Amino acid sequence: MPAIKIPRKSTIIDMTAMCDVSFLLLTFFILTAKFNDEQSVIIDVPAARSEIKIDEPLLLSVDKEGKVYFTAPKGAMRTKTLDKLIERYGEKYPQLKELNDVQKAKFLDIEMVGFPIENLPEVLNFTKEQMTSFKKSMPGIPMDTIQNQLGAWLMAGRYADPEQRIAIKGDKISNIDAVQDVIKTLTRNDVHRFNLITTLEGANR
């Protein structure tokens, strides 16, 4: 008796459900991804072998030309820093007392301070286009012997949150004297613990 041959049929797998899940995951990652802000000043940091992660410190940046910039963490900390600057240095810099609520709110959008305190009201009145252009030509914070405004920003941040960590981010080809001046400013304001930001040696930048 001949064997009964069972006809072969192609196997069909319904991929509809898997496609739906894939697109849902893709949508989730796009909506929850946090992108880094575009840097106002590009600083090519040197490499090091140790690794300590620092989340949003009070950041003192030194570019390759030796200009110094100050960055306070986003949100409430940035608002408190401005409030403390006005509170403690309003008499020395009367322009600070002229700031209105709109200007104070706009300060939250300033990623990096790199100009004299006296110019703060003017900068906060810039349009978006003017601010974009100004970021490329900021003169840096005055740090001479007559008026060291970096110390004022630093202490405003310290009074806003005494536990906030402080870090120096210097360009690898910047003048070492500028970095030393920043460190002297820290020590003069009784700050003896701070971090230096680097990249990992051999890591992709």
- pLDDT tens, 132-172? 899 888 999 998 877 889 999 999 999 999 999 999 988 87
Q: Look at residue 20 in the predicted model and tell me its pLDDT.
A: 74
pTM over 0.75: no
Distance in angstroms (rounded) separating the CA atoms of residues 103 and 120: 9
User: Is the predicted pLDDT of residue 103 greater than 60, yes or no?
Assistant: yes
Residue extents of the structural domains in the chain = 47-200
The pLDDT confidence band at residue 13, using thresholds 50, 70 and 90, is low
Nearest residue to 33 via CA among 25, 43, 22, 23:
25
Q: Is the pLDDT of residue 204 over 80?
A: no
Q: Which two tokens stand for residue 107?
A: 């300060």
Whether residue 125 is predicted with pLDDT greater than 90 in this model: the reply is yes
| Mean of pLDDT values over 26-51 | 61
pLDDT, position 203: 47
Q: Average per-residue pLDDT in the chain?
A: 83
Establish how many alpha carbons lie within 13 A of residue 102's alpha carbon, considering only the half-sphere containing its beta carbon: 6
